[in-house]
Amino acid sequence: MSISRFIELEQFYHFYQPIFDINNGIKIGHEMLLRSDIYPNPEIPFHLAKKEDQLYELDSRSIRKAISSYHTAGLSSEIGILFVNIYPSSILNPNFPSFINQIVAGNNVESQRLVLELSESEIIEDMKCLKKQISRLKKDGFLIALDDIGKGYSCIQSIIELEADYLKLDRYFAQDLHISKKKQEFIFHLKKFCENTRSQLILEGVELEEELEVAKALGISVAQGYFLGKPALLKRSFSKTQ
């Protein structure tokens, strides 16, 4: 199947991984993750779409489907925020602001509950234009996150210039966090930066109780990872009818 056909037929679905306030164990939201039975590796369809100049089409369709599924499951009004992965080039597309506002309105989702999580796997070629577009989106109420800080193309310039609401530390920093003093030191200072800039630090990839306890001790309040909850299909909420 060609990538064009794959996108046209939307041969993909989404898993949703819970994100927790680790101080009180409350689920504050989810991150959507594209999955497909045709491409077991979720990075492949995006790679092919980029190669065929169809990355925006895949990105936008994925976002629309993820938000719709979240709303249909009854979670958009019950469990906090939804982090939707997006490439910087998609945000730079001139059609994106009107597109995302239409999706939010059509699914009765508040823009303040939607976090646009910028993928680290794409070089930001025009920081000035991206910053301007993000400023426009933030005025519309959308939140911004930088994904996988410390990996790929993410850099200090993005952290400073884009003024994201959330900084998501790559899972590398969670791995053996209870053992590595250097990782603890780095997180400690980045946490101070976030406090001073009114952004929220999120630790990804927490897989051990020991890692979670050290994260708490360092002052991290939000985290995700297999120890807290694995990515999975959504289950429809029936709380409103009970």
The pLDDT of residue 180 is 98
pLDDT interval class at 239 (50, 70, 90): very low
**Between residues 150 and 180, the one the model is more confident about:** 180
CA–CA dist 75, 61 (Å, integer): 20
Tell me, what's the pLDDT at 150?
82
Segment 20-40 shows an average pLDDT of: 95
The answer to whether residue 4 scores a pLDDT higher than 50 is yes
82 in Cβ contact with 66 (< 8 Å): yes
pLDDT for 120 equals 80
Q: Looking at the predicted structure, is the pLDDT value of residue 76 above 90?
A: no
Q: Residue 112 — very low, low, confident or very high, per pLDDT cuts 50/70/90?
A: confident
* Percent of the chain whose predicted confidence (pLDDT) is above 90: 79
Q: Which of 66, 64, 1, 56 is nearest to 34 (CA)?
A: 66
Q: How many C-beta atoms surround the C-beta of residue 5 within 10 A?
A: 9
Confidence of residue 151 (pLDDT cuts 50, 70, 90): confident
Tell me the average pLDDT across 158-174.
94
Region 140-155 average pLDDT? 84
Structure confidence at residue 154 (pLDDT): 56
Q: Which two tokens stand for residue 210?
A: 């020991």
Give the whole-angstrom CA distance, residue 122 versus residue 28: 28
Per-residue pLDDT band at 20 (split at 50, 70, 90): very high
| Average pLDDT for the chain | 91
Taking CB atoms within 8 Å and a gap of at least 24, the contacts of 210-215 are: 210/177, 210/178, 211/174, 211/175, 211/176, 211/177, 211/178, 212/22, 213/178, 214/177, 214/178, 214/184, 215/22, 215/174, 215/177, 215/187
Supply 166's token pair. Answer: 């959330």
Spatial distance between the Cα atoms of 33 and 28, rounded to a whole number of angstroms: 17
* Residue 144, SS3 per DSSP: strand
Angle between helices 96-106 and 127-139 (to 10 degrees): 30
pLDDT > 70: percent of the chain = 94
How many Cα neighbours within 13 Å face the side chain of 196? 8
Task: Please state the rounded mean pLDDT for residues 213-232.
Answer: 97
DSSP state at residue 170:
-
- Beta-strand (E) ranges in the chain? 13-21, 26-35, 81-86, 114-118, 143-149, 166-169, 200-203, 222-223
Residue 217 CA from chain centroid, whole number: 24
For the segment 202-220, the average pLDDT, to the nearest whole number, is 97
Say what the pLDDT of residue 242 is: 32
Residue 111 has pLDDT above 90, yes or no: no
The answer on pLDDT for 110 being more than 90 is no
